Structure 1
Amino acid sequence: MSTTSTSDATGSTPLVLPGGTWTLGGREVTRFGYGAMQLAGAWVMGPPADHDGALAVLRAVVGAGITHIDTSDAYGPHITNDLIREALHPYPGPLLVATKVGANRDARGGWPTARRPEDLRRQVQENLQALGVDVLDLVNIRMGDANGPQVGSIAEAFETLAQLQQDGLVRHLGVSNVTAGQVAEARAIAPVVCVQNMYNLAVRHDDDLIDDLARDGIAYVPFFPLGGFTPLQSDALSAVAQRRSATPMAVALSWLLQRSPNVLLIPGTKSVKHLRENITGAATMLSEQDLADLDTIGR
């Protein structure tokens, strides 16, 4: 596994970002990125319990050399984008901030869809304003619902984003929570630089899609890489972790990086200590036997 050398947020202890880099929309980014969703309050609603701690995590992310942050104005709502701007604006040149549109939040914490053209234009404007930029680096359109991808056309929503790209408000486009058919439909409309779906050791439905995207130079960004609200549990995972003197979560992250060079990680955390643990854990080297044992989990 290739690595990228850097230093921690204090500049005192060297860190090595595992996985090296990937070219995302013409920008070289670290394959080990950061997902900002957990910076909001409980159930991704409201402000964080520790505002200064959230800012410290974001600064530690950049200090560690990470150049890919994933966010959405629906997180909070509006909370994580505001934190990112407060902590990091003006943004370092190498940093790519990817955001997501296609859903609102309701008072009960639900994620009702919002994919009409007027919804998407409004959400892009809200992301621009909250992040304090004139152009968004990357916008993913969230399809499906809380149960996962749903069959249906992506054309109207993706055409709206493609027009916003032509208008100069968005640099690059991606798709999220989608079927392989919807990926193909979107690619027929405008270039897609990444696909963001749920995928981890136990959820392997996108195996073929990942390989197809890798051949075409398109990134695959798994959300819930550690199982999300249901953390990964497996005897095989525990056995490999014990052999490697690592935590099961470290092994799960490392497996994703070794799965394919186009897989970009965005594990989230609200703790600087946990951020460092994720970075060092994802650098765990897995043997062919480890990989074979882990391969039995999701199949």
Structure 2
Amino acid sequence: MVTEKLNLTYKIGDLEVNRLGFGGMQLTGKGVWGEVPDRENGLKVLQRAVELGVNFIDTADSYGPYTNEKLVADALHPYKDGLVIATKSGLERPGPDEWVPNGDPDHIRKGIEGSLERLQVDQIDLWQLHRIDSKVPVRETLEPVIKAVEDGKIKYVGISEVTVDQIKEVQDLLPIVSVQNRYNLGDREWEEVLDYTTENGLAFIPWFPLASGPDKMQEKIESIAKKYDATTAQIALAWLMKRAENILLIPGTKSLEHLEENIKAAEIELTDSEFEALSK
């Protein structure tokens, strides 16, 4: 679907957010392991993102693990009104670049409590199940999540890297507001999931949003980028903004310069013909 006029905000429940947010994953060590090498710069990047109008920050207990949530709190707490912090649980981290799903209810319960403590909040704005664990029935995995919602510790729930059938299975157990799957201009495996979220009023949060596709697309992208005096990455983000109005972007970076570039992508509104040319 191509929108006629780009809407730069989206409502997650009653939380209105700017569609160009910030993902914290890169503000960690190599392999998303350990503390970000230059912590002072990491703090500045987060603070600058908010100064530039970002009011949706995405993190996870597995980033570091744990270090990224602490960095977000150290940079931004006490949080300004309207700033939405989203986090995730449901993965184990044995080492750098290693990610193991763990849907054991006790692990999820501890993850929620740990995130509340590290983020220094009484309620998590958006808690997301990082992965569904095939070894544990999703009903069991979500028991502590349902309890945390009832207790006011979680406001809204989302899920990540799921099929349409899995979304429906979770929706039978509790309301969700968002889905976070890998999706970008060059990788549209989850097109069906995106369409489902658009039709059902769920936010779609693509991870790895900056990938711009195979080399054969570069000439096409570069000609459009030249017209807008933009980078390839900015055009990739602009394409996502136009693709569906429920897409929330969370590009991450350690660079203040790249941060400013990413934010400016929201100013680029591709024409319908440019969008179609890139979509082929």
The TM-score, its normalising length taken from structure 2, stands at 0.91
Check the 8 A contact 1:19/1:30 in 2, yes or no.
no
What secondary structure, in the 3-state scheme, does the structure 1 residue paired with 2:101 have? Answer: coil
Aligned to 2:221: 237
Q: Secondary structure at the match of 2:141?
A: helix
Cα deviation, residue 154, structure 1: 3.0
Q: For residue 104 of structure 1, what is the aligned residue in structure 2?
A: 92
Contact 1:151 1:179 in 2 (8 A): no
Distance 1:65 1:267 in 2: 14
Q: Which amino acid aligns with 1:291?
A: F
The aligned counterpart of 1:37 is 25
The CA deviation string for residues 56-96 of structure 1, in whole angstroms up to 9 with x for no partner, is 01111111121100001111111111111111111112011
Deviates more, 1:63-72 or 1:280-289: 280-289
- Secondary structure of 1:57's counterpart equals helix
Q: Pick closer, same or farther for the CA change 1:20–1:76 going to 2, 3 Å.
A: same
Among 110, 116, 120, the alignment partner of 1:122 is 110
> Is the contact between residue 123 and residue 154 of structure 2 (CA under 8 Å) also seen in structure 1?
yes
Superposed CA deviations along residues 28-82 of structure 1, whole A, max 9, x for unmatched, are: 1111100011111111111112111111011111111211000011111111111
Alignment equivalent of 1:159, drawn from 136, 143, 156: 143
Q: Which of these residues, 215, 220, 228, is aligned with residue 204 of structure 2?
A: 220
CA distance in 1 between partners of 2:96 and 2:48 (Å): 32
Show the counterpart of 1:6.
none
Contact 1:154 1:182 (8 Å CA) reproduced: no
| Runs of 4+ residues deviating >6 angstroms | none
Number of the residue aligned with 1:273: 257
Root-mean-square deviation (CA, aligned residues, Å) is 2.3
3-state SS of 1:90 partner: coil
Q: Does 1:85 align with 2:73?
A: yes
In the comparison of the two structures, how many residue pairs are matched? 276
Q: How far apart are 1:192 and its partner, in Å? A: 0.6
Q: Runs of 5+ in structure 1 lacking a partner?
A: 4-17
Question: How many Å apart are 1:105 and its aligned residue?
Answer: 0.9
CA deviation vs aligned residue, 1:175-211 (integer Å, no higher than 9, x gap): 0011111111111111110000000111212223323
- SS of 1:223's equivalent? coil
* Letter paired with 1:29: V
CA, structure 1 residues 274+2, in 2 after alignment: closer, same or farther (shift >3 Å)? farther
Contact 1:198/1:223 (8 A) holds in 2: yes
1:107 corresponds to which letter in structure 2?
Answer: G
The one-letter code of the counterpart of 1:141 is L
Shift of residue 155, structure 1, vs aligned partner: 2.7
Report if aligned partners of 1:199, 1:225 keep a CA contact under 8 Å in 2. yes
CA displacement 1:235-264 (0-9 Å, x = unmatched): 333333234332111110000000111000
Identity of aligned residues (%): 36
Provide structure 2 residue ranges, at least 5 long, that are not aligned to the other structure: none
